[in-house]
């Protein structure tokens, strides 16, 4: 990457800010963005995670590290409930994951969403300089680009959607869907996890709004021509591999091996979210024990599922369902020496996660729908090349595109299919495990968090104010 061509500070807006330093806590995304910000200098702006009476009018909370400033503002209690719990996670999240059955459409949610997008853009605009390049992240801020243009900002604005974009037939169910998509066209570059998501968005523009697909990467609506492309996100693969080989991870592995007493461990790591297919996964594990009884007493499922959005009913229901299911399966099959399923809802350090992945014979990643799924890539990066485990992967994860040649691909809705793949995984000979691992290792180490950032930003920086092909 030629950084000389990339003049201007980088300004990032995302729901949560940081951490910037390589504290061992930063996930791939923070590592990638942190690198990019440090290289160019800039600002990372977002919500403080706190509520206060002033809300988005609160004083900036500013923290400086070298040439990078982390800037945060609060929200009011009401803004947080209606914007974050409401439109972002009750309306958009289920809709984008093809779950119209779970989506709630309330007018006050949409009003709060438009208000917060406008407020965040207004606050951000007071920090901007003329040469800045702005990169907005995720479904919380679909309209910030539009609102920034209203403040008069003329520099390039990019947007990356971390979650899927559903087919137009689904997205059209959103009240005022047309106005949301029209607002998105004020971004100059829109990045998606997969070509399918990108195609769905472009189809919305052409089929629902009468726009035009100009070429593979560009779409036109009215007087705006923008870039819409897939930029699959990756992880800090070398960093994660290093963590998996660290002395701490090794100590943890030894402890796990002692506990397992020669049994195979299957691991699942997911935020406790209905998009991740965790109950379906437990049912598949149940089916494994029913159909292939030789695994009883020999295979354990460790499900790490940190609580997420616990203020929403659908998430609380999910937790209850999981606990019941695990209780039922453990009650039916467990023995004094062996508990079939263990569920842990606490957070782990990245080092511990890397160690757990390396100690697990199978990585079970079966979302019903997922933008990418970084856990699939982390599982691969953590493996011991001499004795690697097997990845069982949902065909509905964005990661399927890059990993399908090496993973055992499954339909997460079909417990028989997943149980069959688990049986294949626990009995797979070493040579085949190694061959499959090598096939997956290549894309995981090629498309990383760092290269993802660099590719997206190269496109965005090329789109300087004067060259905005869509500018009137
Ligand atoms: P998520 O839905 O959060 O991300 P995922 O991509 O799997 O899903 O990322 C989760 C991250 O959290 C992983 O790095 C994982 O290691 C970490 N994690 C999970 N459980 C943990 C625990 N108990 N302790 C510590 N860390 C834990 C959204 C989209 C995805 C997309 C990403 C990135 O839904 O589809 O891949 O953004 O774009």
Which pLDDT score, from 0 to 100, does residue 471 have?
41
Q: In angstroms, rounded to a whole number, what is the distance separating the alpha carbons of residues 123 and 60?
A: 9
Task: Give the C-alpha separation, 355 to 244, whole Å.
Answer: 5
Q: What is the pLDDT of residue 465?
A: 44
377 secondary structure, DSSP code? H
Q: How far apart are CA 212 and CA 209, in angstroms?
A: 9
Which of 22, 9, 16 is CA-nearest to residue 70? 16
Is residue 104 within 6 Å of ligand 1 at its C-beta? no
Tell me how far apart the alpha carbons of residues 385 and 403 are, in angstroms, rounded to a whole number: 16
CB atoms under 10 Å from CB of 38, counted, come to 16
pTM of the model: 0.96
- Ligand 1 close to Cβ of residue 348 (< 6 A): yes
Q: Whose CA is nearest to atom 37 of ligand 1?
A: 162
Whole-number Å distance, alpha carbon 304 to ligand 1 midpoint, is 12
Q: Is 325 in the pocket of ligand 1 (CB under 6 A)?
A: no
Q: Which residues of the chain have pLDDT under 50?
A: 1-4, 465-466, 469-472
* Short-list 302, 318, 240, 304, CA closest to 270: 304
For residue 369, the 8-state DSSP code is: S
From the candidates 186, 236, 286, 370, which is the catalytic residue? 370
Pick the CATH number of 237-446 from 3.30.420.40, 3.40.50.2000, 1.10.10.10, 3.20.20.70: 3.40.50.2000
Residue 347's pLDDT is 87
pLDDT value, residue 25: 61
State the pairing for strand pair 390-394/224-230: unpaired
CA distances from 108 to 78, 85, 325 (A): 11, 12, 36
* 138 part of the active site: no
- Three-state SS for 357? helix
For domain 3-234+450-461, is the CATH number 3.40.50.2000?
yes
For ligand 1, atom 16, name the residue with the nearest CA. Answer: 375
Ligand 1 nearest atom to the CA of residue 233, by list position:
38
Please state the domain extents for the chain.
3-234+450-461, 237-446
pLDDT of amino acid 30: 81
End-to-end CA distance of the chain: 30
Q: Which atom of ligand 1 is nearest to the CA of 348?
A: 24
Between CA 307 and CA 325 the distance in angstroms is 17
335 with 123: CB under 8 angstroms? no
The answer to whether domain 3-234+450-461 and domain 237-446 are alike in fold is: yes
Distance 18 CA to ligand 1 centre (A): 15
Question: Cβ(299) to ligand 1 under 6 A?
Answer: no
Give the Cα separation of 12 and 23 in Å (integer): 20
Ligand 1 pocket, residue 402 CB under 6 Å: no
Contact indicator for 450, 236 with CB cutoff of 8 Å? yes
Atom of ligand 1 nearest to the CA of 349: 25
In a mutational test of the pocket of ligand 1, which residue from 192, 371, 394 has the highest number of ligand atoms less than 8 Å from its CB? 371
| DSSP secondary structure code for residue 209 in this structure | T
For ligand 1, atom 4, which residue shows the shortest CA distance? 373
Residue 284 tokens read as: 């598949």
Examine the residue annotation and report whether 370 is marked as an active-site residue of this protein: yes
Q: Would you state the structure tokens that stand for residue 384, as one six-digit string?
A: 């011991």
SS3 92: helix
Whether ligand 1 lies within 6 angstroms of the CB of 271 is answered as yes
Rounded distance from Cα 269 to ligand 1 centre (Å): 8
d(CA 470, CA 410) in angstroms, rounded, equals 42
Q: Which of 374, 379, 380 to mutate to test the pocket of ligand 1 (most atoms within 8 A of CB)?
A: 374
Q: What pLDDT sits at residue 27?
A: 67
> Cα separation of 367 and 377, whole Å?
14
pLDDT in the model for residue 472: 35
């Amino acid at each position: 990457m030629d950084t000389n061509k990339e003049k201007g500070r980088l300004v990032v807006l995302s729901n949560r800010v940081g951490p910037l330093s390589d504290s061992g806590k930063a996930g791939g995304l923070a590592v990638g963005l942190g690198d990019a910000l440090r290289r160019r200098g800039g600002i990372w702006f977002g919500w403080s995670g706190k509520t206060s009476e002033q809300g988005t009018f609160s004083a900036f909370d500013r923290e400086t590290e070298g040439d990078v400033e982390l800037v945060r503002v609060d929200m009011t209690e009401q803004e947080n409930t209606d914007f974050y719990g409401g439109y972002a996670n009750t309306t958009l999240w289920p809709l984008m994951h093809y779950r119209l059955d779970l989506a709630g459409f309330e007018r006050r949610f949409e009003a709060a969403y438009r208000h917060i997008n406008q407020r965040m853009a207004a606050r951000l605009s007071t920090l901007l300089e003329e040469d800045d390049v702005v990169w907005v992240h995720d479904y919380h801020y679909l309209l910030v680009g539009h609102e920034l243009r209203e403040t008069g900002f003329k520099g390039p604005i990019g947007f990356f959607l971390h979650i899927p974009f559903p087919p137009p037939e689904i997205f059209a169910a959103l009240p005022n869907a047309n106005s949301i998509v029209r607002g998105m066209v004020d971004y100059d570059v829109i990045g998606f996890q997969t070509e399918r998501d990108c195609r769905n968005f472009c189809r919305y523009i052409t089929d629902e709004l009468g726009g035009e697909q100009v070429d593979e990467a560009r779409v036109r609506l009215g007087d705006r021509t923008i870039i819409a492309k897939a930029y699959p996100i990756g992880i800090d693969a070398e960093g994660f591999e290093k963590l998996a080989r660290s002395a701490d991870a090794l100590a943890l592995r030894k402890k796990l091996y002692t506990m397992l007493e020669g049994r195979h461990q299957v691991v699942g790591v997911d935020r406790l979210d209905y998009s991740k297919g965790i109950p379906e996964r437990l049912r598949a594990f149940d089916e494994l024990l029913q159909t292939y009884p030789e695994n009883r007493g020999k295979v354990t499922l460790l499900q790490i599922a940190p609580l997420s959005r616990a203020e929403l009913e659908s998430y609380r229901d999910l937790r209850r369902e999981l606990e019941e299911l695990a209780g039922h399966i453990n009650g039916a099959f467990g023995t004094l020496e062996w508990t079939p399923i263990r569920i842990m809802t606490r957070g782990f350090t990245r080092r511990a996660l890397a160690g757990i992945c390396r100690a697990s014979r199978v990585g079970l990643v079966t979302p019903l729908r997922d933008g990418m799924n970084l856990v699939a890539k982390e599982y691969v990066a953590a493996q011991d090349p001499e004795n690697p485990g097997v990845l069982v992967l949902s065909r509905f994860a964005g990661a399927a595109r890059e990993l399908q040649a090496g993973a055992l691909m499954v339909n997460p809705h079909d417990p028989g299919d997943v149980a069959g793949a688990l049986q294949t995984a626990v009995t797979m000979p070493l040579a085949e495990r190694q061959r499959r691992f090598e096939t997956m290792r290549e894309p995981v180490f090629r498309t990383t968090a760092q290269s993802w950032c660099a590719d997206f930003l190269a496109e965005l920086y090329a789109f300087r104010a004067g060259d905005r092909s869509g500018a009137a």
